[in-house]
Structure 1
Amino acid sequence: MDVNRRNEMKKVIVSVKLRDILIGILIFNICIVIFSLIVVGVNKGNRQLKYGNTENKQIEHNNSKVDLDLKKEKDTILNKKIDSCINLYLTREKRIVKLDLEQYVLGVVSAEMPANFNIEALKAQAVAARTYAVCHTKHLVGGGCSLNANADICDSVHCQAYISQEKRMKTWPKKERAELYNKVKEAVESTRGQVLSYDGELVMNPYYFATSSGKTENSEEVFKESKPYLKSVESPGEEVAPKYKTQFKFSNANFTTVMNSQFKGLNLNSNIIKDKINILERSQGGSIKQIKIGNITTTGKMIRKLFGLPSANFTISFESTNIVFNCKGYGHGVGMSQWGAGVMAREGKKYDEILRHYYSGIEIKTLNYK
């Protein structure tokens, strides 16, 4: 074979090998693309992407499980026999006492509502107080009181006020003691075991307070958490309450000192504060949601806390060298108004009507004690 012939054959062999290599590379790339499409398609369909969403999906799953477990607990309380005891922390004595739940509720109603109120108002208070106690009981729903890790609840307004029979009797007129005590006792006994429920579950936030400004508050506008049974409702007739309207005066100097110490960089001048205060927004119930003071914006709730005001529903005026707060209502304004309940009871409303008015959509269930 001559030299030219051999060279031509070598070229053909090289060309064939190069073609095979290129075809192999092409086939490999095609396989990679097809495989990728299949994997992505499967993962997309199953919502199980390996990166990015796995942790979030697990969190969602865990939250759902927690919600279901809590729902089950709240359902169980209403549908099984429960231990009717509660561990009460006595804040002044700094000790815990174990009480029967109904005995405890008797002490709460005595402390929280005037005994000369109509008995239907006292009954409504008993149901609300009992519900509050149950939803704080550790062995039932894992509640508790932050003032003492071993207690379910305390005897101060941090939870709900409580007073023993002996102490309460001493505060009542001697001739009326027996009558008033028996009245409160009847209110508690006639509602024995009754609690508030919503959608088949124990109500976990049965808030109540002293006096409204004529309307209660939506829970989300005060506590940042929306509850369907804690909606703003009318509460007329409370003008007779002793703390329906109150006035507080502070010197301009005192006001600016408190504000400047609370808010860094405010630098409020006591001589020119009149034009530096502007109420920006009020809640449905009338409380101040946002107020601008100098270069900061805060809440009526914060101003109430700083100056010890009875409510966050107030107007501001100026008098010589003083700033004047004219307040309406007493308390946070969410749930049942105690004075409003008293007004409704005096007008002939029954305790269940009072409760359904202040707690939207609730039902009244009876606990089954052991």
Structure 2
Amino acid sequence: MMKKIFFVLLISLFAVSILPKFAFASDGQVEYVEVRITSSLKSSQKIKLSSSGRFLTGDFEELTPKTEFIDKDEIYIVPGEAEKINILDKDGNILMTMDSKEKIYFSSEDMNNSVLKVENNRYRGYIRFQRKGNDLIVINRVTLNDYLYGVVPREMPSSFPFEALKAQAVAARNFALKNVGKYSSEGYNLSDTTDCQVYGGMDAETEITNKAVDETKGIIAEYNGELIDAVYCSNSGGITEESGSAWAVDEPYLKSIEDSFSTDSPNSVWTAVFSESELKEKLKTKGINVGDINNLEVLETSSSGRVLKLKIVGSAGEYVLEKDKIRQVLGLNDIKSTLFTIAKSNGFGEGTKEVYAVDGTMDNPKTVNLNDANVINGDSKKTVSRGMVKRVVTSAGDKEISEPEEKNSGGDFVIEGKGYGHGVGMSQWGAKKMAEEGYKFEEILKYYYNGVDVVKEDM
């Protein structure tokens, strides 16, 4: 198993007496999850692990495991020769060497209330390490409830009403249970990023969100007796999306609904403005080259109005982005959802719409918007067409105005959208509004997940 090179103490008899609380569920239910830790790491080749006292380590999954104490409160984990992993003290002395294929866990001395620090972040439960080439993978084995302690406050502000936090706790529990096998081929269950759910460990916890998790312990949402994939988003923008439009699977409990609870809240409406050069650069970084960007065209929308296909028209070709690729390419923070429309301004370069208007004596110059202004052509006829105006005075001097070319080039692309996220399932800001209006967490869940039952099971 492990090669002891420094001071360790074999305590098998002691381990047998304290390990029952660590036992894994044998009836198919999930008691523990293993989460890959990435957010707290400073390096993938040297990991600092700290404890309030000495460490207990061993293969805790064995029925009669051999466990050992490491009489240090701070150790460093580094890759060793071949597929080995070395455990060092702070002076660089090797304390222990283990095979990376073995599941060797580390806990604090009181393993039933274990808290360890990975770098500067605290985590409940146990930590183990794997190797992937010369890099280390850090995995936190933690009870489902303790995992949710670190998820709920990272996924929903703890300042939200308590019933909304309880709805989030149930949704997060469902999501974890439904996706527990996502990375099983990699040797763990979930990640700590938005690829699964954001998990911040013990340092993310708050009293109110822990209470929301505790008061909903064992409560899940089901459809026809089956666990649902309780996906959620920040804000639906006033209408949710059905799963079949957003992804490949059309779930009966993830249908599009009108969602007035999500209006009049942050990111319920938003605007993103891109110059032609900015769009060109965004595409270039993703390996897409269509030359100068002439136009963006919406080819297809879903029943909720979200863009399913967006054609980019360039001087050197065309390219079609579909579904979630639209946000991935144009920027998740810029394009907050695919519920948007596109406009394009054709002002003086880079979308400028304002010029200086002056009278015949050049007195009192004023800034006016050309889209709203009436101008006088050479025949003293009043018109709103800029195509008949030859020159105007701008802040940068005289400018010549000509009729826009048919290709609609020059100027900014203005994207006006609603909502934040994929729009499927529960809207978190909608849940907040519902809770403020007196709805209970069960009602919130049933509103966003069509036809579900909210039940309590022994977890």
Separation in structure 1 between the aligned mates of residue 31 and residue 275 of structure 2, nearest angstrom: 52
Q: Is the 8 A contact 2:242 2:255 kept in 1?
A: yes
Cα offset, 1:303, TM superposition? 2.4
Q: Does 2:312 align with 1:293?
A: yes
* Match in the other structure for 2:431: 341
State which of 314, 319, 324 in structure 1 corresponds to 2:340: 314
Q: Is the 8 A contact 1:80 1:368 kept in 2?
A: no
Q: Alpha-carbon deviations, 1:93-150, whole Å to 9, x = none?
A: 341111111111121111111111111111110111001111222xxxxx1338x812
Percentage of matched positions with identical amino acids: 34
Cα offset, 1:342, TM superposition? 0.7
* Match in the other structure for 1:198: 223
Give unmatched runs, 5+ long, in structure 1.
Answer: 1-78, 138-142, 170-180
Cα offset, 1:284, TM superposition? 2.0
Structure 1 residues 19-168: aligned runs within 5 Å: 82-92=29-39, 93=41, 94-137=137-180, 143-145=181-183, 149-165=186-202, 167-168=203-204
Separation in structure 2 between the aligned mates of residue 182 and residue 257 of structure 1, nearest angstrom: 45
Separation in structure 2 between the aligned mates of residue 345 and residue 327 of structure 1, nearest angstrom: 25
* Match in the other structure for 2:264: 240
Cα offset, 1:260, TM superposition? 6.6
* Match in the other structure for 1:218: 242
Q: Structure 1 residues 283, 99: closer, same or farther in 2, change over 3 A?
A: same
Q: Alpha-carbon deviations, 1:136-181, whole Å to 9, x = none?
A: 22xxxxx1338x812111111110011223x336xxxxxxxxxxx3
Cα offset, 1:283, TM superposition? 1.4
Q: Is the 8 A contact 2:238 2:258 kept in 1?
A: yes
Q: Which amino acid is the alignment partner of residue 353 of structure 1? A: E
Q: Structure 1 residues 355, 349: closer, same or farther in 2, change over 3 A?
A: same
Structure with higher RCO (Cα < 8 A, 6+ apart): 1
Helix, strand or coil at the partner of 1:348: coil
* Match in the other structure for 2:292: 269
Q: Is the 8 A contact 1:193 1:368 kept in 2?
A: yes
- Higher deviation after alignment, 225-234 or 324-333: 324-333
Residues paired across the two proteins, number: 267
Kindly report the root-mean-square deviation, in angstroms, between the aligned alpha carbons of the 2 structures. 2.3
Normalized per residue, which structure has more helix? 1
Q: Structure 1 residues 145, 243: closer, same or farther in 2, change over 3 A?
A: farther
Separation in structure 2 between the aligned mates of residue 206 and residue 278 of structure 1, nearest angstrom: 33
Q: Alpha-carbon deviations, 1:286-325, whole Å to 9, x = none?
A: 2111233334443253222111121111222223232222
Cα offset, 1:263, TM superposition? 7.5
Separation in structure 1 between the aligned mates of residue 226 and residue 35 of structure 2, nearest angstrom: 24
Separation in structure 1 between the aligned mates of residue 285 and residue 197 of structure 2, nearest angstrom: 31
TM-score norm. by structure 1 comes to 0.67
Q: Is the 8 A contact 1:279 1:288 kept in 2?
A: yes
- Higher deviation after alignment, 104-113 or 315-324: 315-324
Structure 1 runs of 4+ with >6 Å offset: none
Normalized per residue, which structure has more strand? 2
Helix, strand or coil at the partner of 2:414: strand
Q: Which amino acid is the alignment partner of residue 275 of structure 2? A: S
Q: Which amino acid is the alignment partner of residue 442 of structure 2? A: D
Q: Is the 8 A contact 1:260 1:268 kept in 2?
A: no
Q: Is the 8 A contact 2:36 2:191 kept in 1?
A: yes
* Larger CA Rg, structure 1 vs 2: 1
Cα offset, 1:226, TM superposition? 0.5
Q: Is the 8 A contact 2:262 2:427 kept in 1?
A: no
TM-score norm. by structure 2 comes to 0.54
Q: Which amino acid is the alignment partner of residue 267 of structure 2? A: K
Q: Is the 8 A contact 2:310 2:326 kept in 1?
A: no
Separation in structure 1 between the aligned mates of residue 248 and residue 427 of structure 2, nearest angstrom: 20
Separation in structure 1 between the aligned mates of residue 306 and residue 327 of structure 2, nearest angstrom: 10
- Higher deviation after alignment, 297-306 or 96-105: 297-306
Separation in structure 1 between the aligned mates of residue 253 and residue 237 of structure 2, nearest angstrom: 19
